[in-house]
Amino acid sequence: MKNGTAWLALALLLGSAAQAAEKPAVTVIRDYTDIVAPADQQAYEAGVKSFNQCLHQHGFKYTWTAWTHETGNTYSYSYTSAPIPWSSFDDMDAAGKACDATMRSGVNPHLKSEISAFMQVLPEMSHVPKAADPAPKLIEVTYFTLKPGHESSEAFMAGAKKIAAAAEKSKWPYYYQFARVIDAGEGSPDFILVSPSKSWAELGADPDPDVWKMIESVYGKADAAAIRKTINDAIKDVSAHVDSYNAELTYTAPEK
């Protein structure tokens, strides 16, 4: 990742709104990642709180979940929307204009830089709980940059879908969400994986069984090895970091 910054977006809460049964609409998440100088953190956070207050005053109906980067670049903050159709961002942009001036005066002066990206939710590559959960305390965010070419992307996605199917079939009790990164600029990953944890102890514990043992139990050792090789052959680079949920900087839309 360029500058070690994150596209967290999968603050999907890993169990967010279910897709329509007949033909799911394409849903995407928008993420803003802010990089702040250490000396500006207090003023920056005060500016975000003022911006959220402005959104509340105008009845802004879209939630923005805030995350503080615990590893990697720890002077970074990410804000993620819920997964919504592309058309909803037109309404979001229009509704947020009333607070643009508050953002420019209270937040922007304290930024070193900001990166924005969209993420397309990929349910067939994900393993999520049936019921929605509250925002987890921690999320481990893993970036996958693939080798150039259409073949690498297709192979990676096919392998990830097989893993998700195995996790569902075996009722593997470890959940994760995949998304494809869209229009994030130079140096961005191709896919992002988010895994939630309720505590540092849970985050640090090894899955039992681990993912490859789980896959072997469903497909057998030979097929599991083939899936692993297919995925590894498609990957150019992998990196990861941990983020914590920040309730104070989260904007929660009013209930309908």
The pair phi, psi for residue 227, each rounded to 5°, is -65, -45
Is the model's pLDDT at 8 over the cut of 60?
no
β-pair type (64-69, 76-81): antiparallel
- SS3 of 150-202: HHHHHHHHHHHHHHHHHHHHHCCCCCEEEEEEECCCCCCCCEEEEEEECCHHH
Burial of residue 213, with CB atoms counted within 10 A of its CB: 0-12 exposed, 13-18 middle, 19 or more buried: middle
Residue found under tokens 């003022």: 50
Q: What average pLDDT is seen over the chain? A: 90
Measured distance CA(172)–CA(169) in Å, rounded:
8
Using 50, 70 and 90 to split pLDDT, how confident is the model at 82? very high
% helix / strand / coil in the chain, to the nearest 5? 40, 30, 35
Which domains are present in the chain?
2-15+25-245 (3.30.70.100)
Burial of residue 26, with CB atoms counted within 10 A of its CB: 0-12 exposed, 13-18 middle, 19 or more buried: exposed
Rounded mean pLDDT, 120-145:
91
Is the model's pLDDT at 45 over the cut of 60?
yes
Considering only residues 141 and 19, tell me which one the structure prediction assigns the higher pLDDT. 141
CB 73 within 8 A of CB 3: yes
DSSP 3-state of 3? helix
What is the helix (H) or strand (E) element at residue 44, kind and residue range? helix 41-57
Query: Residues 203-245: pLDDT tens digits?
Result: 999 999 999 999 999 999 999 999 999 999 999 999 999 999 9
